[in-house]
A and B are shown apart, each in its own frame.
Chain A
Amino acid sequence: MSRQIRLAMIGCGAVAEQAHLPAGRLLHNGCFTLLVDTNESRAAALARSFGIDRSVRDWRKAADCFDAALVALPHHLHEPVCCELLAAGKHVLVEKPLARSVREAEAMIAAANRSGTMLAVGLMRRFGWAPLVVRRLAVSGALGTIESFDFQEGGIYDWPVASDFFFRRETAGGGVLIDTGAHTLDLLLWWLGDYAEVEYADDSAGGVEADCCLNLSLQSGAQGVVELSRIRGMRNTAIIRGRCLTIEVHLHVNRLRVRATGTDIDLTGELVRETHSSPQYYPQLVAEQLQQWVDAIRAGCEPHVPAPAALPSIRLIEQCYARRQQLMHPWMAAPAITR
């Protein structure tokens, strides 16, 4: 395919405005030609500010205006909207989480297979230099046999959400586990292999969880803990203890600490890349993801993160919710002291 790939942005919320549309400005061989949102005035305003020709309420009214769609909708709409787009012959890059359940995810993958289109998922951290290095270290055996791991991610939630969809189980599919955890657990399983057993507890009391804890056993035999939160500051690192090396990788920036077993000496610092003159931050990650997806469409090859790659983490998240135990917070233990 030699011509420019015409992209539609389906869903014009905060992530479209702050991440995907700015990334579109840096894109080679592709550009956004259509914005779609049920809030037409919002879509029109974003189209004006990003110099995009057209905005509509329903993509079906402008199906001939785009070749591929970037879907950033409330989670419960991922499956129906993506399946319809794929059936219409559109390539799709869908924001994480790919789906709320394995059943939804498999339906989406099947739709892509049927129509011969490409379905990619926005697990952009797999483009990060530090995650790439950790993957290489783990897969090559340089760490030695993995003995344990300790992942912590979270902070006081501050994403500028325009609606309450993130906080309703029926639209979001869950809370911090399916949102932040989609990234964290994807990296964990990508680095260390699939899980065998999981114990899970969260603090939901009928709504969506803000804080959760997983005790995981991997098929490799390694055991560890994953803690995620939206209501407290966390370390935001993954510590992986191998028989040869222990590494601590930051989950938001390209920072790595490596220690050889039996020593108290750390090799620590920011990662740099020979082919890049500047560091890789969030906007660069988003731009790399978009560019790689467009390049894959043009070349007719597989994207860096195809939809099936997200299946192990979706399966784990589904297992967690199925085996959920109640997490009690220290301040909640106080008895209600009213008559």
Chain B
Amino acid sequence: MTAGPRDLALITGATGFIGGRIVELLAARGVRLRAVTSDFRHCSRIARFPLQLVKADLRDPVSFALSAAGCTAVVHAAHRFDGDKAEQTSVNVSGTRALAEAALTAGVRNFVHLSSVAVYGPPGDRDISEGSPVVRCPDAYTSAKQAVEETLTELHRTRGLPLTILQPTIVYGPFGGAWTTRLIAQIKNHRFILPCRGEGVCNAVYVDDVAAAVMLALSVPAPRGQRYLVSGPAPVTWREFYGAYEQMMDRSTVAPVDDAGYREEERQLRLAHSWSRQMRSFLGRRPALRNRFLDLPPQRWLLRCARAVLPASLQSTIARRYAQLWQLPPEPPLPALLPDPGNHALFSARQRVQIDRIRNELGYAPAYDLAAGMKLTAAWARWAHLLET
């Protein structure tokens, strides 16, 4: 992307995790920027740069279309997550279509769309490349991303939209949500149960590598509507990925378990949430309440009879058992947390994401292996006071 006086790049989703870093890198190159946000309150990070701030929302396609006027390049990183599958798809498709059509009218040279590896469907064990089939699934996010890709590809084919689609994998780094601050919170507050001994494949990519891929896509002279997967230099295991966060936090609260161990953790969690366990826990902490219950007429009468009829040895055994019943096991220092079904599948998958196409065609060379990416992530997390107890 050039930084000519007439060049103006539009970034949607500019206040988000990836969009924010794209703004920082483009601004550092002296590119004139127009940043789109649906809420001005989130602009602090990007307002450090001399850019145009524009309020527009995918739910209001007209506002999105207006934002593209006069631009020479578009990076579309916005996505609305709210609503069910139909609503999320409809909102993202209509807003994106309006933006792309306005970009065509403005005569932009590059339209870079931030999609996701999620378009290839639920994670499995077969490696993924851009030639892999797009698998339909009920997940709202995946469906919306698939539909947006189809809409833009159609506009490329029929009207020549200068499109490049990037499909990042597990993106982490400063200001990251799902794979950064959420994990820090998980490790801080839980004993996180990692299935498959943590040996599943994590196709992690540091946010600067994704931003670098965007820069390369913006430099494509004649975009061909191509899709590119974007991942780090080499996959790692989930154990290594979570382990990097444990190391920066000086914690050891992630528990990689095998299938049997995972089932046992599930069973323990179910038990902990069972009605009887909850009741026992409730009454166990309230001896006065238990004694009041035993002092009600029927129980009092039964106890009196038992004392009269039962031999002393049996009475003492019952009393001992009764006392044992209320001896609660010590609370674990941290509650266990199991991944939801979607993330369980992700943590169990062995698929490796191939990035040969973007390496060969755009010259992408990811610069941050896990150690390098996590070093910067840790520096940011310390600065942001996220590692303090």
Interface stretch of the complex, out of A52-60, A202-210, A271-279, A309-317: A202-210
Does A161 lie within 8 Å of B40, measured CB to CB? Answer: yes
A169-202 contacts to B (CB < 8 Å): 175-176
Does B44 lie within 8 Å of A331, measured CB to CB? Answer: no
Does B43 lie within 8 Å of A338, measured CB to CB? Answer: no
Does B363 lie within 8 Å of A339, measured CB to CB? Answer: yes
Is A233 close to B, CB under 8 A? yes
Is A61 close to B, CB under 8 A? no
- Determine the chain B residues whose CB is within 8 A of the CB of A159 once the complex forms: 41
Contact partner of B49 (CB less than 8 A), chosen from A207, A230, A235, A339, is: A207
Q: Mark B375-389, 1 if CB is under 8 A from A, else 0.
A: 011011011111000
B25-41 contacts to A (CB < 8 Å): 25, 27-29, 40-41
Does A329 lie within 8 Å of B47, measured CB to CB? Answer: no
Does A332 lie within 8 Å of B367, measured CB to CB? Answer: no
Given A232-B384, A234-B385, A331-B173, A158 contacting B41 (CB threshold 8 A): yes
Is A231 close to B, CB under 8 A? yes
Minimal Cβ-Cβ distance residue in A for B52: A164
A328 vs B363: C-alpha distance when bound (angstroms): 29
A204 vs B45: C-alpha distance when bound (angstroms): 10
Is B55 close to A, CB under 8 A? yes
Is A281 close to B, CB under 8 A? no
A284 vs B25: C-alpha distance when bound (angstroms): 44
Does A330 lie within 8 Å of B376, measured CB to CB? Answer: yes
Task: Summarize A's interface: helix, strand, loop or mixed.
Answer: loop
Is B208 close to A, CB under 8 A? yes
* Chain A min CB distance to B213 (Å): 9
- Determine the chain B residues whose CB is within 8 A of the CB of A207 once the complex forms: 46-51
Does A205 lie within 8 Å of B41, measured CB to CB? Answer: no
Is A322 close to B, CB under 8 A? no
- Determine the chain B residues whose CB is within 8 A of the CB of A301 once the complex forms: none
Given A161-B41, A339-B216, A210 contacting B48 (CB threshold 8 A): yes
- Determine the chain B residues whose CB is within 8 A of the CB of A156 once the complex forms: 44
Task: Count B interface residues, CB 8 Å.
Answer: 40
Minimal Cβ-Cβ distance residue in A for B174: A331
A167 vs B43: C-alpha distance when bound (angstroms): 7
A333 vs B25: C-alpha distance when bound (angstroms): 11
B331-389 contacts to A (CB < 8 Å): 363, 365, 367-368, 376-377, 379-380, 382-386
A51 vs B144: C-alpha distance when bound (angstroms): 45
- Determine the chain A residues whose CB is within 8 A of the CB of B25 once the complex forms: 336, 338
Minimal Cβ-Cβ distance residue in B for A169: B50
A206 vs B28: C-alpha distance when bound (angstroms): 11
* Chain A min CB distance to B190 (Å): 20
Q: Mark A200-241, 1 if CB is under 8 A from B, else 0.
A: 000111111110000000000000000000111111000000
Is A337 close to B, CB under 8 A? yes
- Determine the chain A residues whose CB is within 8 A of the CB of B219 once the complex forms: 338-339
Is B128 close to A, CB under 8 A? no
* Chain A min CB distance to B206 (Å): 9
Minimal Cβ-Cβ distance residue in B for A172: B47
Does B29 lie within 8 Å of A336, measured CB to CB? Answer: yes
Contact partner of B376 (CB less than 8 A), chosen from A157, A168, A209, A334, is: A334
Minimal Cβ-Cβ distance residue in A for B218: A338
Does B212 lie within 8 Å of A329, measured CB to CB? Answer: no
Given A334-B376, A339-B216, A164 contacting B53 (CB threshold 8 A): yes
Does A175 lie within 8 Å of B47, measured CB to CB? Answer: yes
Is B255 close to A, CB under 8 A? no
- Determine the chain B residues whose CB is within 8 A of the CB of A235 once the complex forms: 385
Is A163 close to B, CB under 8 A? yes
A144 vs B377: C-alpha distance when bound (angstroms): 42
Does A157 lie within 8 Å of B208, measured CB to CB? Answer: no
B14-30 contacts to A (CB < 8 Å): 24-25, 27-29
- Determine the chain A residues whose CB is within 8 A of the CB of B49 once the complex forms: 205-207
Given A207-B48, A337-B367, A232 contacting B383 (CB threshold 8 A): yes
Minimal Cβ-Cβ distance residue in B for A327: B48
* Chain A min CB distance to B31 (Å): 12
Is A321 close to B, CB under 8 A? no
Does A210 lie within 8 Å of B379, measured CB to CB? Answer: no
Does A231 lie within 8 Å of B28, measured CB to CB? Answer: no
Contact partner of B45 (CB less than 8 A), chosen from A164, A231, A337, is: A231
A74 vs B377: C-alpha distance when bound (angstroms): 36
Given A167-B40, A205-B27, A331 contacting B48 (CB threshold 8 A): no
Given A330-B379, A332-B24, A210 contacting B384 (CB threshold 8 A): no
Does A331 lie within 8 Å of B380, measured CB to CB? Answer: yes
Does A206 lie within 8 Å of B45, measured CB to CB? Answer: no
Contact partner of A160 (CB less than 8 A), chosen from B41, B53, B363, is: B41
- Determine the chain B residues whose CB is within 8 A of the CB of A160 once the complex forms: 41
Is A162 close to B, CB under 8 A? yes
Given A330-B380, A331-B379, A332-B24, A338 contacting B215 (CB threshold 8 A): yes
- Determine the chain B residues whose CB is within 8 A of the CB of A127 once the complex forms: none
- Determine the chain B residues whose CB is within 8 A of the CB of A66 once the complex forms: none
Q: Identify the 5 closest CB pairs spanning chains A and B, nearest first.
A: A330-B379, A167-B47, A206-B50, A331-B174, A338-B215
Besides A161-B41, A232-B385, 14 more A-B contacts (Cβ < 8 Å) are A156-B44, A157-B44, A164-B55, A167-B47, A168-B47, A175-B47, A175-B48, A176-B44, A205-B27, A206-B50, A231-B44, A231-B384, A334-B368, A338-B216
| 15 A–B contacts from the bound complex (CB under 8 Å) | A161-B40, A163-B40, A175-B47, A205-B48, A207-B51, A231-B384, A235-B385, A331-B174, A332-B24, A333-B376, A334-B368, A336-B212, A337-B367, A339-B216, A339-B363
